[in-house]
């Protein structure tokens, strides 16, 4: 996930946008490879004067970490936090909920949803069942793959199928 001046972006956001509906919230684990509660408890024990902000800056981009820390008002040294406080902090980091205002729209879309219904096409030739000399391929067909080249593969494969049978 990338945090930009315009909002959230990057491969994970592009992938989820295929499923996200306007108005739906997203729940994001900001540190999926970390056990944040264990980290915070350990840090409090080893360096009681350290802060949540210092922990966040070690694992997140500095400006984002600082803004996130300010958003939640996590001030003071870790020694001033009870275990239940650290559990709440850990939960906030693992379950950050945002409600996107929208998307960038088609202007910057990499993959779009919708198109010609695959049930109306021959899977062998990509020809329209009701109009055998009319072919549909690639992203004009309602097929959406995961990020990572699957949509390119679909475009080429469907193009080959249509080209060989035309």
Instruction: Tell me the two tokens of residue 144.
Output: 């959406």
Regarding whether 7 and 64 lie in a shared domain, the answer is: yes
CA distances from 80 to 25, 47, 125 (A): 32, 12, 68
Q: What is this structure's pTM?
A: 0.72
Q: How many domains does the chain have?
A: 2
- Taking a C-beta distance cutoff of 8 angstroms, is the pair 99, 25 a contact? yes
Same domain, 94 and 122: no
Domain range for 150 is 118-165
List, for residues 4-46, the tens digit of each pLDDT value.
Answer: 888 888 888 888 887 888 899 999 999 999 999 999 999 999 9
Is residue 11 domain-shared with residue 45, that is, in the same domain?
yes
**Shared-domain flag, residues 21 and 92:** yes
Same domain (yes/no): 81, 140: no
* Same domain membership, residue 131 and residue 89: no
Q: Is residue 70 part of a domain?
A: yes
Chosen domain end from 43, 65, 98: 98
Check whether residue 122 and residue 74 sit in a common domain. Answer: no
Q: Is residue 36 part of a domain?
A: yes
Can you tell me the distance from the alpha carbon of 29 to that of 93, in angstroms, rounded to the nearest whole number?
6
What is the chain's alpha carbon radius of gyration, rounded to the nearest angstrom? Answer: 23
List, for residues 102-146, the tens digit of each pLDDT value: 887 777 776 677 899 999 999 999 999 999 899 999 989 988 877
């Amino acid at each position: 996930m990338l945090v930009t001046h315009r909002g959230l972006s990057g491969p994970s956001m592009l992938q989820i946008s295929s499923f996200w509906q306007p108005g739906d919230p997203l729940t994001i684990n900001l540190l999926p490879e970390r056990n944040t509660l264990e980290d915070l408890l350990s840090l409090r024990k080893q360096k009681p004067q350290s802060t949540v902000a210092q922990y966040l800056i070690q694992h997140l981009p500095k400006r984002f970490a600082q803004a996130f820390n300010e958003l939640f008002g996590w001030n003071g040294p870790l020694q001033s936090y009870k275990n239940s406080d650290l559990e709440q902090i850990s939960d906030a980091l693992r379950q950050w909920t945002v409600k996107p205002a929208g998307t960038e729209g088609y202007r910057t879309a990499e993959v779009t949803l919708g198109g010609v219904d695959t049930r109306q096409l021959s899977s062998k030739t990509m020809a329209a069942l009701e109009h055998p000399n009319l072919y549909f391929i690639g992203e004009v067909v309602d097929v959406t793959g995961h990020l990572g080249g699957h949509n390119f593969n679909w475009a080429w494969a469907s193009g080959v199928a249509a080209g060989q049978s035309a």
